[in-house]
A and B are shown apart, each in its own frame.
Chain A
């Protein structure tokens, strides 16, 4: 969310109830900010699950492939060493490093993918200018309505949020 309204609720239950009510009324561009993950809030907000697993699978497979390629090229093609007649292309002896390559690339994909999906690092955000947001990571159970939401109306939405039990409602300017 870049601009719109930000409302504080007493706790996860009130926040989840408000999210459910607003979604039932047709609000589509909602977000919630919580100090710790909460299943009820997550379910109330809805939306697709994180697609990270697919990226990580691809990252892991590429890592394994890359490691195998390096091992095969260096040991069997570019500079094969004859050690007691043992085969230069020895897939079984490549297992440990192929595994390490897979785990390394999959983990890097998981971390970088997480940052990209969250749009981080982003050291400044309009929300950081709002005093209500200052305690978001400490004890703020916050609900945000984006002003691009088709149902958004400054006064009506504020009134609705207050009716749903918001302790405070403030405007976020871009």
Chain B
């Protein structure tokens, strides 16, 4: 390590003190988190009320219309599934590249992925109109004697998102087993010992166990890496296979993946910066971790900017009047033009601040920027989805899209539900991987 590079683990630690410090969040519950749990719990109730109303009254309660058939639901779906990419990226891709800095971030990022994918999954199911028939997407021998149409990208979507959720859960739980065993062994009450013991499945930490566990982790990482690239590629094909200006584009799969990882890293920063302050994690999630996450965010932000440029170039170079009209008139100058410029400010201009070390070393600057990026990425999906539909090839069918109250309740409800699940996770699961941080301790010593 070169001189002046900040360490990945600060302080003098023993295995025992490290375990104790990392289990702290499951024992000590800061009041602010309890209050937040209550608030987000109310928000979650609002989400379920909105879902209930959608079940009863149908999706006519949403702002969707003709020509804008895909509104908030699809925007939220793409946004959430995008956020769900960073967890697997941090856990799997950085594991394959043997980046030790992933070790103290992976657990939190994986939990974030799981909970984001849960939110994402809600929206397309609700958007079906009759969500109780969602199981029709699964090929099962039914009395109707027909099968799902697997030539349709929408069925690929269902397969990709479900696979991603299952693989993410397995990967997360596999890494969690040894830490649940630590929580079991360090438990102070009989109930905690039993509860953690049950979920630890009897993990004993034998060298042979570790050998199989590490091999399984490596294999799952190898499987999850192409998977994480496939999920948003398939989501992007929902758009790319449609013959609509602004959607029908071959750059979509890589463009969507870059945007997804960009927003995911931003969400990691949004969560990590306040939590590290609250639980005094500065010694395991050090300035170096934040610096590296910020650099990854910048790299992904540049890829996003490149994709925007490529989209504009292809629209111009194609010579197709409808494409040119969309990219050079409707989007920048149309009724949603202000959202387009806000998107460009958030996703193209703001990330350039991360070139400066002074910004990357200030956690609260990163926190504010990460929220700006997340807003920007949500706006990107809004612009992409709504502007392409609201002025299509036939000017007589042009119309505006205005979300309804139920749309708002579903979106903010899903934000609450996500935060609610994250807060519950913090209360029961060691949020920083214990065994992996110990590995850093033994490989690099203290002040590694």
Contact = CB atoms under 8 A, between A and B. Distances in A.
B151 A34 contact: no
Interface of B: 14-16, 19, 139, 145-151, 155-156, 159-160, 163, 166-167, 170-171, 173-174, 178, 181-182, 184-186, 197-198, 201-216, 219-220, 223-224, 226-227, 230, 234, 237, 434-436, 438-439, 442
A163 interface: no
A37 B186 CA distance: 19
B204 A125 contact: yes
Contact of B207 (A42, A78, A86, A124): A42
Interface of A: 12, 31-38, 41-42, 45, 47, 49-50, 52-53, 56, 60, 70-71, 74-75, 78-79, 81, 83, 86, 90, 93-94, 96-97, 99-101, 103-104, 106-108, 110-111, 113-115, 117-118, 120-125, 127, 133-139
Contacts of B160: 96, 100
Chain A interface mostly helix, strand, loop or mixed?
helix
Contacts of A123: 197-198, 201-202
A139 B220 contact: no
B145 A93 contact: no
Given A96-B156, A110-B216, A75 B150 contact: yes
Contact of A36 (B156, B197, B206, B436): B436
Given A42-B207, A123-B197, A123-B202, A107 B147 contact: no
B207 A32 contact: yes
Contact of A49 (B148, B163, B215): B215
Given A52-B215, A122-B202, A110 B223 contact: yes
Contacts of A47: 208, 211
A121 B202 CA distance: 6
A37 to B, nearest CB: 4
Given A34-B207, A100-B163, A121-B202, 10 more contacts: A33-B206, A35-B15, A35-B178, A49-B211, A50-B212, A71-B150, A96-B159, A97-B150, A97-B156, A123-B197
A49 B219 CA distance: 14
Given A103-B163, A123-B201, A118 B208 contact: yes
Contact of B234 (A33, A36, A83, A96): A96
Contact of B185 (A70, A114, A117, A137): A137
26 contacts: A34-B210, A35-B15, A35-B205, A36-B439, A37-B435, A45-B207, A53-B219, A71-B150, A74-B147, A74-B148, A74-B150, A75-B150, A75-B151, A86-B151, A93-B150, A96-B156, A99-B226, A100-B159, A103-B223, A107-B171, A107-B224, A111-B174, A111-B220, A136-B185, A138-B185, A139-B15
A96 B226 CA distance: 11
A75 B156 CA distance: 14
Nearest to A97: B159
Nearest to B440: A36
Contacts of B178: 35-36, 137
Contacts of A33: 204-207
